[in-house]
Amino acid sequence: MQALVYLGPQDKALQDRPRPGLVAPTDAIVKMTLTTICGTDLHILKGDVPTCTAGRILGHEGVGIIDEVGSAVTAFKVGDAVLISCVSACGKCVNCRRQMYSHCTTGGWILGNSIDGTQAEYVRIPHADMSLYPIPTGADEEALVMLSDILPTGLECGVLNGRVQPGNSVAIVGCGPIGLAALLTAKFYSPAEIIAIDLDEGRLAVAKRFGATATVNSGDGHAAEAVMKLTAQRGVDTAIEAVGVPATFELCQQIVAAGGTIANIGVHGVKVDLHLENLWDRNVTITTRLVDTVSTPMLLKTLCSHQLDPKQLITHRFKLDNILDAYETFAHAAETQALKVIIET
Amino acid sequence: MQALVYLGPQDKALQDRPRPGLVAPTDAIVKMTLTTICGTDLHILKGDVPTCTAGRILGHEGVGIIDEVGSAVTAFKVGDAVLISCVSACGKCVNCRRQMYSHCTTGGWILGNSIDGTQAEYVRIPHADMSLYPIPTGADEEALVMLSDILPTGLECGVLNGRVQPGNSVAIVGCGPIGLAALLTAKFYSPAEIIAIDLDEGRLAVAKRFGATATVNSGDGHAAEAVMKLTAQRGVDTAIEAVGVPATFELCQQIVAAGGTIANIGVHGVKVDLHLENLWDRNVTITTRLVDTVSTPMLLKTLCSHQLDPKQLITHRFKLDNILDAYETFAHAAETQALKVIIET
Amino acid sequence: MQALVYLGPQDKALQDRPRPGLVAPTDAIVKMTLTTICGTDLHILKGDVPTCTAGRILGHEGVGIIDEVGSAVTAFKVGDAVLISCVSACGKCVNCRRQMYSHCTTGGWILGNSIDGTQAEYVRIPHADMSLYPIPTGADEEALVMLSDILPTGLECGVLNGRVQPGNSVAIVGCGPIGLAALLTAKFYSPAEIIAIDLDEGRLAVAKRFGATATVNSGDGHAAEAVMKLTAQRGVDTAIEAVGVPATFELCQQIVAAGGTIANIGVHGVKVDLHLENLWDRNVTITTRLVDTVSTPMLLKTLCSHQLDPKQLITHRFKLDNILDAYETFAHAAETQALKVIIET
Amino acid sequence: MQALVYLGPQDKALQDRPRPGLVAPTDAIVKMTLTTICGTDLHILKGDVPTCTAGRILGHEGVGIIDEVGSAVTAFKVGDAVLISCVSACGKCVNCRRQMYSHCTTGGWILGNSIDGTQAEYVRIPHADMSLYPIPTGADEEALVMLSDILPTGLECGVLNGRVQPGNSVAIVGCGPIGLAALLTAKFYSPAEIIAIDLDEGRLAVAKRFGATATVNSGDGHAAEAVMKLTAQRGVDTAIEAVGVPATFELCQQIVAAGGTIANIGVHGVKVDLHLENLWDRNVTITTRLVDTVSTPMLLKTLCSHQLDPKQLITHRFKLDNILDAYETFAHAAETQALKVIIET
């Protein structure tokens, strides 16, 4: 089968690889229908994710059809249409029992990382009963691909950790796909203000279209002042960090109101300054989280009831044959205006 | 009347000052019975608290007798025995309505800071109805002095923010009076492990006596390894930072378990490193808080029902005449073994 | 001044009464601009509310202009435009401190009940600082009248107590004004299904227009079966009782899912059957609540940010001169299709 | 093997039965070491549990040794010492994912109910990975038997649902084993008052020994007055119903404070009166729950850290040969003073 293979830093190729087989009785093999590329795949390609070694098939998102199931799989059978979660969860370990699937002792984010992933014609899914979801009748499959990772990430790490509430103010620092996913799901809770912050006017325009009540271009170095002015000098109740660099985390500290929350989504490569000399008495909460995908059932229901339109995030479509082009398009988002790209497998 | 007055960095004196009078109709004048000295008073004397200027009477803790009430005070009358909260709260502003009294727009921690405090024969208490508590019949007055600040601080900033739960593990980093107050109130929630960490063996012995299940002397630079060993390499569910310097906050980051909480109590003078490169995917929560004293009614009930014995924190007693000696004793705790000192006014 | 006065069961009149004066220093006198009639006023007129005695001016909702303030009022001055809360709260008593203003020891729902109310040219508001809200610039005053009682009641007693969540299912049993207020505020939390239940097709049509995803006419005695069918035999996560009779509470018990909540809003005059023989092992929660109006600040923000359009609830408008006609119209809602009626004072 | 078999209402026998075998790959066979008898077993013997039919081996509690495991069991191996949970949980269904194991679509309380149970030499445990717990080194096995059902039931249905908090007041209505289990676990949260209520002075004496701060004998029909007097006419914050008859649920309604919670544990056979005419405006919460056993990991930790001494609940010990005597002793608790009886298998 065809598969996009990581060959080491800066190096990848579309290769011919054998179809994966069952390893454990709880595994399923899924014939992929649609997949996509994540910002994390670009991190891997930079060499920033040491758990992902050369030879790995990338990808942790997508939908497909069950092709084979292990003897202990009870929730699915061959032919079922399924959504693949980016996180594999046994459901039984100490962390799964407290709904922290991201730290499953035999799972977590392993797909396209420590085991082969979804940018291929077939993929092996461990802990299939807990890690796949039946596709609701009539659901749009492209929209569903957004539920593999980006929407639960925005919702769990940004919106739920950030305790977004009706009438509150939210700043979204970074309007790439993940920040926009946070924005779309923040609307579940009817905040009064959603302030979108980015360096790119194109992304700010998208944020506005998605429901931001105000936008701030941080390129002039005065984003904090702009946010304080928009909030009558109170700051925001929730600051969602969706970039992953020191400067954006710094901005979050400058704009969070007393009693507010900084919800970190960004994947950080270096330490940041935490200004406890200013924040120690400000009653703030700072959260980090790797998506647990515990919100996937909720997201499926909001999708089916049209509370959510994830297809807005899709800007480009490719065949698996052309996945290298898809990577180019996705990696150069400033020029291509790419948000999420769909790969038909 | 006699009063302990801050005269500028490193300078203080016991002076004769006029008895304070009512300023607002919601004020009360309290004739002090007992007061104490807080670590924050030492910070002020170092010149670290710019809101506190020369000429200020220090002190924000104590019990006394109502001597005079303003026309709008409805909950107290002359002669009532009262506990003074370190935080003054109007009860009506946007922050008080969300129970964040520490950020009351006309109150907060102002006593012995921006207005004259309790280390004197009389003190003016603003927003008296919300900032004083009737002393329950038969309650021990010395024990009650511990409810002005130190116990709600340990409880709210450390234990409640740290979400201490039955069966969980807690590390208390710093076993001065405030860390010990966190330890005493952590026991309300029956954690399985309370690991006390300090440089001073004397304080670790006190922590042990107060209920710590293990102690770690951090003087050898291997405290993190010791805690990880005690927790089977999991780390602790709650790390309470009760010192306020970069090294102790660093230690908290090293020992917090995935899914755990770092609850900061310490007053920090400089920024710290936050290792988001390690923590971004660890599902941790970090909290800061200036005590709101919303837990004072709960603490009064636990005191009356003997769930709590705050007198354990009291090591020395002085008359107001000798308050300069009390400061010496308190400031040199390593030699004097002082925890809290009671000043009879 | 003119005032609508309760004269005993079935008896009321528009009378000339003296303008009220200040009684306590925390009082304000408000010159009414707009008021309305509540279902509770009809209960009083039936003689069902023993705390309300003959001679009482009715009404507990409205907006107006501050005409006079007591010496201890700090948040308002003469000339300020204000929203009146149906609940008066001291902010300081044991119940107010836990945000249960409805049980304020010197307040609660007293307006138009145990003290004179708002269906008059002037009204005295006790605990003015906590019981009035400044009208935001540019806000629609008619819309604001809906924030005095009906919207916080629907939100707090129905939606918040009912723990409405994104993706969940909600049944609203009874689509009078209060049920519709619950419906409007349930949408803050993006439930997947809102099933509106009533005997009146007109009200069901309104519910549909307000956002119900399905409607059930309970007139045929088969409402429970209809709801179970709509929910694939699961039942609803939240059943909001907005009528106050045994039959509707019975229906809620039939349709609540395992793990779900019955949130009672209805004012009940008689006991109901609780089928613990069926429910003891169903993990259900049943809540009751008199509105606390703690959500008023949130509602003001959602109103200003256009998350909420309360004017949809207003069907008729009258002058105070014609308030008896307004009562007729409101009391015969089946014929008049009345929801809320505005009285211009 | 020997097994205690239900033969129909009022009829049971110790019979010879074949050792059970594996049915599903997720099953384990456990060789029983210790078991016990539950009040629910007496309900079954009265014919009150229609899901339990003649021929069923009773029992849903105990500890033992793994004798055989199915091919999909990963957490246990032959020879492991295990605690058996009264609730079997797949961990994967919609209800397990929200931690409502009691309503597992292929589990729940089935042991000794719809499948053969633990009052035998061997038992088959479905969903073994989620329904068994490794016995901690050095743990007392008799104490552990109390963690199969009675302690998680008291904790989850009574204490957690009842939101017991430090400083609060709790009434425990019914001081049989389950009420006492609620009492023991309520102490995890340091309530100021625990009022134990029963008809039996012997049980009240036990409650006192276990930590009740006051006891009320309800035999004189004045229990409500007594509780109101003990609480200065406020009532209790939490009323735990641990009997299951209308009179005790009525008492809970009479003694719950405004803003309080009635947490039902009792198995009710008939409907009860709910006095919404009194409670509609009292801000009360009523909860029901079949134990989910989600608290078992927490209980294991509190047991190992000596926060909990469940052996206090054990009054009698028998061999499996004499289980009919054990039933007699347990069924006549008023005369025998039996709480929990241990059966050595």
Q: Six-digit token pair at C13?
A: 């009149």
Name the residue in chain D with its Cα closest to that of C282. Answer: D289
CB-based contact C50:C67 (threshold 8 Å): no
CB-based contact A116:A20 (threshold 8 Å): yes
Contacts of C90 in chain B (CB under 8 A): 74
A266 near B CB under 8 A: yes
Q: Which of C25, C74, C92 sits opposite B129 (nearest CB)?
A: C92
- For β-strands B236-241 and B169-173, DSSP reports them as parallel
CB-based contact A201:A217 (threshold 8 Å): yes
Residue D4: predicted pLDDT: 98
Contacts of C261 in chain D (CB under 8 A): none
CB-based contact C308:C182 (threshold 8 Å): no
Using the structure block, give the residue that is written with the tokens 């006023």.
Answer: C41
Residue B146: predicted pLDDT: 98
- What's the CA gap between C2 and C343, in Å, rounded? 13
- What's the CA gap between B243 and B197, in Å, rounded? 11
Chains touching chain B, criterion 3+ CB pairs below 8 Å: A, C, D
Tell me which amino acid residue C112 is: G
Q: Six-digit token pair at A151?
A: 């929407």
Name the residue in chain D with its Cα closest to that of B305. Answer: D192
Instruction: State yes or no: ipTM above 0.85.
Output: yes
Residue A174: predicted pLDDT: 98
Contacts of A92 in chain D (CB under 8 A): 74-75, 91, 129-130
C91 to B96: CB separation less than 8 angstroms, yes or no: yes
C14 near B CB under 8 A: no
Tell me the count of B-D CB pairs closer than 8 A: 62
Name the residue in chain C with its Cα closest to that of A192. Answer: C305
- For β-strands C56-57 and B340-344, DSSP reports them as unpaired
CB-based contact D26:D96 (threshold 8 Å): no
D75 to A97: CB separation less than 8 angstroms, yes or no: no
Distance from the Cα of D270 to chain A's closest Cα (Å) equals 35
A288 to B280: CB separation less than 8 angstroms, yes or no: yes
Distance from the Cα of D17 to chain C's closest Cα (Å) equals 31
C299 near B CB under 8 A: no
Q: What is the DSSP letter of D111?
A: B
Q: Which of B72, B94, B294 sits opposite C72 (nearest CB)?
A: B72
CB-based contact B295:B156 (threshold 8 Å): yes
For D310, what's the count of Cα atoms within 13 Å in the CB-facing half-sphere? 31
Give how far Cα A339 sits from Cα of A39, A60, A141, A147, Å.
Answer: 10, 17, 17, 15
Q: In the predicted model, what is the mean pLDDT of chain B?
A: 97
pLDDT, tens digit, 9 for 90 and up, residues B121-136: 999 999 999 999 999 9
Give Dmax (Cα) for chain D: 61
Contacts of A293 in chain D (CB under 8 A): none
CB-based contact A196:A184 (threshold 8 Å): no
Mean pLDDT by runs of 10 across the 345 residues of chain D is 97 98 96 97 93 97 98 96 98 96 98 98 98 94 98 98 98 98 98 98 97 97 97 98 98 98 96 98 98 97 94 97 98 95 97
C300 near A CB under 8 A: yes
C276 to D264: CB separation less than 8 angstroms, yes or no: yes
pLDDT, tens digit, 9 for 90 and up, residues A65-116: 999 999 999 999 999 999 999 999 999 999 999 999 999 999 999 999 999 9
Q: What is the DSSP letter of D343?
A: E
Distance from the Cα of C249 to chain B's closest Cα (Å) equals 33
Contacts of B305 in chain D (CB under 8 A): 167, 191-193, 213
B233 near C CB under 8 A: no
| Positions of E strands within chain D | 2-8, 11-16, 28-36, 56-57, 62-69, 81-84, 122-125, 132-134, 169-173, 193-198, 214-217, 236-241, 256-264, 272-274, 285-287, 314-319, 340-344
- What's the CA gap between A191 and C189, in Å, rounded? 10
D91 to A130: CB separation less than 8 angstroms, yes or no: yes
Long-range contacts of A216-220 (CB under 8 A, 24+ apart): A218/A173, A218/A251
B167 to D301: CB separation less than 8 angstroms, yes or no: yes
A276 near B CB under 8 A: yes
- What's the CA gap between B248 and B256, in Å, rounded? 12
Using the structure block, give the residue that is written with the tokens 């700043």.
Answer: A171
Comparing CA positions, the residue from B213, B212, B72, B174 lying closest to residue B130 is B72
D-contacting residues in C 143-172 (Cβ below 8 Å) = none
Q: Six-digit token pair at D240?
A: 């735990």
pLDDT, tens digit, 9 for 90 and up, residues A128-173: 999 999 999 889 999 999 999 999 999 999 999 999 999 999 999 9
Whats the size of chain B, residue-wise?
345
Q: Which of A102, A277, A289 sits opposite B269 (nearest CB)?
A: A277
| Cα dihedral C182, C185, C187, C190 sign | negative
Name the residue in chain B with its Cα closest to that of D194. Answer: B305
Indicate the helix (H) or strand (E) that contains C247. Answer: helix C246-255
Q: Six-digit token pair at D130?
A: 């989620």
Which residues face A214 on adjacent strands? Answer: A195
Give Dmax (Cα) for chain C: 61
Name the residue in chain A with its Cα closest to that of B259. Answer: A100
| Cα dihedral A333, A335, A341, A344 sign | negative
Alpha helices in chain B (DSSP H): 39-46, 94-97, 128-131, 141-145, 150-153, 177-186, 201-210, 223-230, 246-255, 276-279, 296-304, 323-331, 333-336
Residue A290: predicted pLDDT: 98
Count CB-CB contacts under 10 A for residue B290.
23
Cα A113 off chain centre by: 15
Residue D98: predicted pLDDT: 94
Name the residue in chain D with its Cα closest to that of B189. Answer: D189
pLDDT, tens digit, 9 for 90 and up, residues A9-25: 999 999 999 999 999 99
Phi, psi (degrees; rounded to nearest 5) at C161: -60, -35
C136 near A CB under 8 A: no
pLDDT, tens digit, 9 for 90 and up, residues A26-46: 999 999 999 999 999 999 999
Tell me which amino acid residue D150 is: I
Beta carbons within 8 Å of B284's beta carbon, 6+ residues apart: A287, A288, B256, B258, B259, B260, B261, B262
Q: What is the DSSP letter of B235?
A: -
Give how far Cα A272 sits from Cα of A40, A196, C223, Å.
Answer: 20, 22, 58
pTM: 0.97
C305 to A188: CB separation less than 8 angstroms, yes or no: no
For C70, what's the count of Cα atoms within 13 Å in the CB-facing half-sphere? 20
Comparing CA positions, the residue from D168, D76, D146, D140 lying closest to residue D293 is D146
Name the residue in chain C with its Cα closest to that of A308. Answer: C190
C267 to D258: CB separation less than 8 angstroms, yes or no: no
Contacts of D281 in chain C (CB under 8 A): 102, 267, 288-290
Comparing CA positions, the residue from B235, B251, B243 lying closest to residue B283 is B235
Contacts of B96 in chain C (CB under 8 A): 91
Residue C288's SS3 state is coil
pLDDT, tens digit, 9 for 90 and up, residues A297-344: 999 999 999 999 999 999 999 999 999 999 999 999 999 999 999 999
Cβ-count burial of A152 within 10 angstroms (0-12 exposed, 13-18 middle, 19+ buried)? buried
Whats the size of chain D, residue-wise?
345
Q: Which of D72, D75, D99 sits opposite A25 (nearest CB)?
A: D72
The ranges of chain C with pLDDT < 70 are: none
Tell me the count of C-D CB pairs closer than 8 A: 114
Distance from the Cα of B316 to chain A's closest Cα (Å) equals 29
D283 near C CB under 8 A: yes
Tell me which amino acid residue A42 is: L
Crossing angle of helices A323-331/A39-46, nearest 10°?
90
- What's the CA gap between A293 and A305, in Å, rounded? 19
Residue C316: predicted pLDDT: 98
DSSP string, C178-223: HHHHHHHHHGGG--SEEEEEES-HHHHHHHHHHT-SEEEEGGGS-H
Name the residue in chain C with its Cα closest to that of D275. Answer: C271
| Positions of E strands within chain B | 2-8, 11-16, 28-36, 56-57, 62-69, 81-84, 122-125, 132-134, 169-173, 193-198, 214-217, 236-241, 256-264, 272-274, 285-287, 314-319, 340-344
D91 to A94: CB separation less than 8 angstroms, yes or no: no
Residue D128's SS3 state is helix
D72 to A71: CB separation less than 8 angstroms, yes or no: yes
Q: Six-digit token pair at B217?
A: 């002397």
Beta carbons within 8 Å of A275's beta carbon, 6+ residues apart: A253, B271
